[in-house]
Chain A
């Protein structure tokens, strides 16, 4: 039902029940916001969306106030603009003046607001809060000095991720964002998913970068520097270079990485294929033994940490297979040595992913062999873009290249793992083969695609009927966990991703201002699969060769020693 309201002396139509902000946006009137998060209840913290409503004594926050028939609104009167400007100036008065050195320089919402509201003079100044920079965790850095206390990270962390690592601490002008008992992030229950980074308007939260070590080592003759990148990076890098969002840049990335100085460039999708094959084999084994059902996916390191600390009783249900990046990493270290007399120390392996939690994963003790990490450094999509710019590679003009052998050949099943539901789809395709001995007639499982955060389906495989689900973000799993703990779960396989929508929306992806971006990335992943000729992970010819040559069959002892791992309860302050 529509009503008419008067905005800036013009009548506009607004849907009843909408907030003023929604009505304005629908009519093409933009007003600034800072604390607003799409799909979350408005908290009204920033007051930037204030508008003047006739008959109201004070300014009204447009983000939370519903439209009413009698309203006469002024969105850009002198009083309103002055108030907004002053609010931004107040924020700036307690903000470090180091924009040029800031991670978010040029990509900062506060900077943009100051620009848009024409702040050109330091009218308000005063004491600034001192804050400790928190460098403790492997995945992310928290710089409270730059925090504007919009509370977006708090809401995402608590409401989406169910982790609630971050919250408001203290009060008055000493209010800050921090963890329980104000410990450093590394000692908290942070799962390093990086969703807080994605919503942070300033540089208060950003990923920890290992740029320096990569740069230092990249030109060393004696070290073979190897890069691998995952499918989620391939479909989202384009956004950083104003290329059509969702464009598949696999070939370009290969070429760019070589130009930068990487000796070998691999596609982690090979690891994803292997992951699907191993996991299918593990699932078959569990089905035979009828134990630890359902099997829970293990490719998301944030999810793994969440299980370890919040639901240690679920550890037996977790698949033992390492994540695709770690699989590729261990293969690289073991089999990629040149004929030259090199040892593992002479390989520096870099994984480029969409996720700060992989930085944490790479440092886990379980992900090492003989004290040497399988992956030495992890970069996010954003960092890759920076690296490309730093080394002056013109991504628009370089010719695409193939990845290096032996991990050049991969299937689109591995690619699918970038989007929520993809891992389950890839595993099910191979499961079908494991159970029936035949390839799946129609490989596309539509019920595991789409934008929903909880997807489930039943797939008939011969006499068996497998029930699978894929779910993200973590706030959606509580019901499933309860079912498993009560022994009432009917699923055989559950794919869990910590980030909403899976890795395409990971915490290391380009900042976006539009939900459409995520859809584009997912669409791109699915269309790659639709067009591909190789859609079954177990049909990957290189992978087959590897198994024949080194491991025998999936889930063999040899395969387990390299591709499997185990997890243990983790004691943190919840």
Chain B
């Protein structure tokens, strides 16, 4: 299905669908839509997930292998790139649809598997060992005895509202998006509601900002709408630099038009004639797809001047940031957009009063905006019923760490942590015990085993000292050292701080150094580290509190969260590091000590040969011993000993 194929539907779609919203479709029209949606096909269709995540897993090679397969055998079939539906651990994902039959999905389709799978399916046989499941569609005849994809645990517990198209549609095709009812909500909004009414609907739906502390979106919009101005701006913040978060990237790459539609409705509600999408520069693939989506939407008349004779004008511009974490803060993002150094400024004045180029501006997280079409489509009451009383709707999380099925999950607010980890994520690999989860990125908080039955929403996460933030969930097991993890985040944050305000710039760095000190051997080059270590620990909590209390923007204010919340839940582990100089997970290299069990050592000399510092002495065939002063705790001897004679303490 090449570009021309889609192009031939352009006039039809504009005439019959976009210009006639909310009308009963006749059979003829419906048939064409089925065709575009590939519900009715004449030849086999193979789709392959083709996002950054799948590309890392090798989707490009798979794609080429499939193509070669089809060419060599001269099979008349369509090969289409789609987005990703979420399970990153199953990438690359390939769907095959034979005419009349239900679509089947295969996981981890590496090039070697391609021939096996395609050989089988073109002979009307589905190789179950690679299968993820088949798709339900009343137009298609299901395969016998094959599981349905919606029944697999990863998907069955999810509530895919804003990610419903991800992995299903072709991200390069506006036609497919329109055929899947795309842009209908935008048309509904501009034809049926005034901007105030849209704000009202959003407020009644109880939508709260997904990026940070959960400020009610409707209220934020009304503030902007209330500021009189010639020009208002909407900025869609699609930058996520959190380690362990890729939701926005995946959505932009899988369903870019949903982003455009969300921005379009929101701009209408705000009276903004210009909107920006702020994407990190390194999201190359996402940027390309968003730009194409903008261009296509323009050529369909969905963006531009006097959209569908509504009198509403809108231009959307893609802005590629330089990838600074601090630009997640709205005032820093605005500065960056204005071409200045991305540094936050104090609020008030809030962007809703004085934002981009001094005009009233709303900055919304991309995920927040993606909820708008859903609310317009289903109404505020339906949306409210989706979550908890205080936090309505669904939330997308990026599940990673020590978990069986990692990936993008969308769940209604109020789902318990237990369900997320054990039902959707499939628990920890090797049935390890859960130590805790880091929630909300590097500046988020920690939830422990005790919080497994907490319902995840803004309030519950806040109550344990975290913030829902951008929605990264990193699962930790016994092999994770809390101090090491927090240290990693502090190191990330000290580098990503903009350097403007003192508590953030200097405070995070000192916290990192304190953590570094306690995860190191006390006798260091700088003779007085013992004292420093002790002092540092005494001040760590104070320092964290001051950083949280006084920092200028969210980055600094929340930077202390990992320290404060781990100090709260894992104090014993801190104390163990400090007083007993012991890392229970065995991660902090400097705190490991190794001994040789003289009864077991055969004097084979392997450990002595491998020791990088020459810390192991002994004569062959006699037990060796380790000179502790020289040992750096690297553990090479421990791993190389064939007689288990080396003991770690």
B-binding residues in A (CB < 8 A): 42-47, 50, 58-59, 61, 63-66, 79, 82-83, 86-87, 90-91, 93-94, 123-127, 148-149, 151, 167-168, 170-175
Taking a contact as CB atoms under 8 Å apart, the answer to whether B506 and A172 are in contact is: no
- B499, B500, B507, B552: the one contacting A90 at CB < 8 Å is B507
Asked if B30 is at the interface of the complex by the 8 Å CB criterion, the answer is no
List residues of chain B with CB within 8 A of the CB of A58. Answer: 548-550, 557
Shortest CB distance B303–A (Å): 35
Interface window among B150-158, B479-487, B490-498? B490-498
Taking a contact as CB atoms under 8 Å apart, the answer to whether B510 and A93 are in contact is: yes
Shortest CB distance B222–A (Å): 19
List residues of chain A with CB within 8 A of the CB of B513. Answer: 126-127
Additional 9 contacts, C-beta under 8 A, given A65-B346, A123-B535, A171-B497: A42-B346, A47-B503, A86-B543, A87-B503, A126-B510, A148-B502, A171-B324, A172-B496, A172-B509
Q: List 18 A-B contacts (CB under 8 A).
A: A44-B345, A44-B552, A65-B348, A90-B502, A91-B506, A123-B539, A125-B532, A148-B502, A149-B500, A149-B502, A149-B505, A168-B343, A168-B500, A171-B324, A172-B494, A172-B509, A173-B506, A175-B498
Taking a contact as CB atoms under 8 Å apart, the answer to whether A90 and B549 are in contact is: no
Taking a contact as CB atoms under 8 Å apart, the answer to whether A45 and B509 are in contact is: no
Taking a contact as CB atoms under 8 Å apart, the answer to whether B506 and A45 are in contact is: no
* Residue of B324, B495, B503, B543 most packed against chain A (CB within 10 A): B503
Asked if B41 is at the interface of the complex by the 8 Å CB criterion, the answer is no
Name the 7 nearest CB pairs between A and B, nearest first: A175-B499, A44-B346, A90-B506, A64-B346, A172-B495, A47-B550, A126-B513
- B501, B505, B557: the one contacting A173 at CB < 8 Å is B505
* Residue of A44, A172, A173, A174 most packed against chain B (CB within 10 A): A172
| Contact code string B462-497 (vs A, CB < 8 Å = 1, else 0) | 000000000000000000000000000000001111
Taking a contact as CB atoms under 8 Å apart, the answer to whether A172 and B343 are in contact is: no
Which positions 508-564 of chain B face chain A at CB distance < 8 Å? Answer: 508-510, 513, 532, 535-536, 539, 542-543, 546, 548-552, 557
A65-B346, A90-B507, A173-B497 given; A124·B539 CB < 8 A? yes
A45-B501, A59-B549, A86-B546 given; A171·B495 CB < 8 A? yes
Asked if B609 is at the interface of the complex by the 8 Å CB criterion, the answer is no
Shortest CB distance A97–B (Å): 15
Taking a contact as CB atoms under 8 Å apart, the answer to whether B546 and A61 are in contact is: no
Asked if B164 is at the interface of the complex by the 8 Å CB criterion, the answer is no
Q: How many angstroms from the CA of A100 to the CA of B310 in the assembled complex? A: 72
Taking a contact as CB atoms under 8 Å apart, the answer to whether B510 and A66 are in contact is: no
Q: How many angstroms from the CA of A173 to the CA of B498 in the assembled complex? A: 8
List residues of chain A with CB within 8 A of the CB of B536. Answer: 124
Q: How many angstroms from the CA of A445 to the CA of B626 in the assembled complex? A: 91
Taking a contact as CB atoms under 8 Å apart, the answer to whether A90 and B495 are in contact is: no
Asked if B600 is at the interface of the complex by the 8 Å CB criterion, the answer is no
Shortest CB distance A494–B (Å): 31
Shortest CB distance A21–B (Å): 12
Asked if B113 is at the interface of the complex by the 8 Å CB criterion, the answer is no
A47-B550, A47-B552 given; A91·B502 CB < 8 A? yes
Asked if B341 is at the interface of the complex by the 8 Å CB criterion, the answer is yes
Q: How many angstroms from the CA of A91 to the CA of B345 in the assembled complex? A: 20
- Interface size range on B against A: 35 or more
Q: How many angstroms from the CA of A173 to the CA of B543 in the assembled complex? A: 16
Q: How many angstroms from the CA of A190 to the CA of B542 in the assembled complex? A: 42
Taking a contact as CB atoms under 8 Å apart, the answer to whether B505 and A44 are in contact is: no
Shortest CB distance A62–B (Å): 11
Which positions 318-365 of chain B face chain A at CB distance < 8 Å? Answer: 324, 326, 341, 343, 345-346, 348
* Residue of B345, B495, B510 most packed against chain A (CB within 10 A): B510
List residues of chain B with CB within 8 A of the CB of A124. Answer: 510, 536, 539, 543
Q: How many angstroms from the CA of A82 to the CA of B497 in the assembled complex? A: 23
Q: How many angstroms from the CA of A171 to the CA of B501 in the assembled complex? A: 12
List residues of chain B with CB within 8 A of the CB of A66. Answer: 348
Shortest CB distance A71–B (Å): 13
List residues of chain A with CB within 8 A of the CB of B343. Answer: 168
Q: How many angstroms from the CA of A66 to the CA of B350 in the assembled complex? A: 12
List residues of chain A with CB within 8 A of the CB of B500. Answer: 43, 45, 149, 151, 168, 175
* Residue of B497, B502, B542, B552 most packed against chain A (CB within 10 A): B502
List residues of chain A with CB within 8 A of the CB of B550. Answer: 47, 50, 58-59, 83, 87
Shortest CB distance B542–A (Å): 7
Taking a contact as CB atoms under 8 Å apart, the answer to whether B551 and A47 are in contact is: yes
With both beta carbons as reference points, the residue of chain A lying nearest to B500 in the complex is identified as: A45
Taking a contact as CB atoms under 8 Å apart, the answer to whether B505 and A93 are in contact is: no
List residues of chain B with CB within 8 A of the CB of A90. Answer: 502-503, 506-507, 510
Taking a contact as CB atoms under 8 Å apart, the answer to whether A167 and B510 are in contact is: no
Q: How many angstroms from the CA of A58 to the CA of B324 in the assembled complex? A: 25
List residues of chain B with CB within 8 A of the CB of A127. Answer: 513
List residues of chain B with CB within 8 A of the CB of A43. Answer: 345-346, 500
List residues of chain A with CB within 8 A of the CB of B557. Answer: 58
Taking a contact as CB atoms under 8 Å apart, the answer to whether B496 and A83 are in contact is: no
Shortest CB distance B326–A (Å): 8
Taking a contact as CB atoms under 8 Å apart, the answer to whether B346 and A61 are in contact is: yes
A58-B548, A124-B543 given; A172·B501 CB < 8 A? no
Which positions 548-583 of chain B face chain A at CB distance < 8 Å? Answer: 548-552, 557
Taking a contact as CB atoms under 8 Å apart, the answer to whether A46 and B509 are in contact is: no
A59-B550, A123-B539 given; A94·B499 CB < 8 A? no
Taking a contact as CB atoms under 8 Å apart, the answer to whether B346 and A168 are in contact is: no
* Residue of B505, B532, B557 most packed against chain A (CB within 10 A): B505
* Residue of B503, B505, B506, B508 most packed against chain A (CB within 10 A): B506
A86-B542, A123-B535, A171-B324 given; A46·B502 CB < 8 A? yes
List residues of chain B with CB within 8 A of the CB of A59. Answer: 549-550
Q: How many angstroms from the CA of A168 to the CA of B332 in the assembled complex? A: 14
Q: How many angstroms from the CA of A45 to the CA of B536 in the assembled complex? A: 25
Q: How many angstroms from the CA of A126 to the CA of B511 in the assembled complex? A: 10
- B498, B506, B546, B551: the one contacting A93 at CB < 8 Å is B506
With both beta carbons as reference points, the residue of chain B lying nearest to A68 in the complex is identified as: B348
Q: How many angstroms from the CA of A58 to the CA of B553 in the assembled complex? A: 11
Q: How many angstroms from the CA of A125 to the CA of B526 in the assembled complex? A: 12
Q: How many angstroms from the CA of A194 to the CA of B352 in the assembled complex? A: 38
With both beta carbons as reference points, the residue of chain B lying nearest to A47 in the complex is identified as: B550
Taking a contact as CB atoms under 8 Å apart, the answer to whether A175 and B505 are in contact is: yes
With both beta carbons as reference points, the residue of chain A lying nearest to B509 in the complex is identified as: A173
- A65, A86, A126, A171: the one contacting B499 at CB < 8 Å is A171
List residues of chain B with CB within 8 A of the CB of A94. Answer: 506
Q: How many angstroms from the CA of A507 to the CA of B52 in the assembled complex? A: 55
List residues of chain B with CB within 8 A of the CB of A46. Answer: 501-502
Which positions 253-293 of chain B face chain A at CB distance < 8 Å? Answer: none
List residues of chain B with CB within 8 A of the CB of A175. Answer: 498-500, 505
- A45, A79, A126, A168: the one contacting B552 at CB < 8 Å is A45
Q: How many angstroms from the CA of A151 to the CA of B340 in the assembled complex? A: 15
Q: How many angstroms from the CA of A19 to the CA of B442 in the assembled complex? A: 33
List residues of chain B with CB within 8 A of the CB of A86. Answer: 503, 542-543, 546
